[in-house]
A and B are shown apart, each in its own frame.
Chain A
Amino acid sequence: MSAVLAFLGLLAVAAGAGFFVAGTAGVIRFPDTPSRLHALTKADNLGLGLVVLGLLPFVPGWFFALKLLLVWALVLLSGATAAQLIAERVRGPEPPA
C-alpha cells in the first residue's frame, strides 16, 4: 500500500468524522423535526460514505472492499427510504392547493 493512498484514506476518514459531528449539530440545533431528519440522513450518509471510502486502502482484498461498499449502499438506501416514511408522519402543514 502506498503512503499517498494511506494518507488520502485517512483524510477521507477524518472528513467523514467531521460530517458525523455536523449531523449531530444539526440534530441538536435545527428547530423542527423534519429539518432534524434532513440533518440526520444527509450528513450521516456522507459521513459514513467518506469513512468507507477512506478505509478502502486499508482492507486486505477486493472482497472486503466490496463488502464495505455494500454496507454503505445498504445504509444509503434504507436511510433515504426510512427518512421519507418518517417525514410523512411528522411533516408540517400542507401548502394551500
Chain B
Amino acid sequence: MAEAPVLVALILAALVILASVAGGLWRVLRGPDPADRLMATQLLGTGGIAVLLLLGAATRQPALLDVALVLALLGAFASVAFVLASRLVGSR
C-alpha cells in the first residue's frame, strides 16, 4: 500500500474518473448513432485503464498494469471491428 494521504488521493482520482465514465454511459442508451454508443464504450475502456493504473499504484499491485494493457489492446480491436462490420452492413 502507498502512504495514507497518497492512497486517498489516488483512490479519489479513480472515483472521479469512474463517475465521469458512468456519466458517459448515458450515450450508450441515448445514441442516436450506433457510433455514439460505441464511443461511450471506448470512454469506458480509456477510463477503465486510468482507474486500473491508479488502483495498481495505490495498492502496489503491478498485475493491474497488465490488465490495463490488455484493455488498451481490446479497445483498438473493438473500434476496428465496429467499422468493418458497419461497412459490411452498409454495402448490402
Contacts and interface: CB of A to CB of B under 8 A. Distances in A.
Direct contact between the two chains A and B in their complex (CB within 8 A): yes
Interface of B is mostly: helix
A74 B27 CA distance: 25
Nearest to A13: B13
B72 A71 contact: yes
A53 B45 CA distance: 19
Interface string B21-38: 101101100000101101
B17 A85 contact: no
A17 B72 contact: no
Contacts of B72: 71, 74-75, 78
Contact of A13 (B9, B46, B79): B9
Contacts of B2: 58
8 smallest beta-carbon distances between A and B, as pairs = A82-B79, A78-B76, A24-B20, A17-B16, A44-B46, A85-B83, A74-B72, A24-B24
Interface of B: 2, 6, 9-10, 13, 16-17, 20-21, 23-24, 26-27, 33, 35-36, 38-40, 42-43, 46-47, 49-50, 53-54, 57, 60, 62, 65, 68-69, 72-73, 75-76, 79-80, 82-83, 86-87
Interface of A: 6, 10, 13-14, 16-17, 20-21, 23-24, 27-28, 33, 36-37, 40, 44-45, 47-48, 51-52, 55, 58-60, 64, 67-68, 70-71, 74-75, 78-79, 81-82, 85-86, 88-90
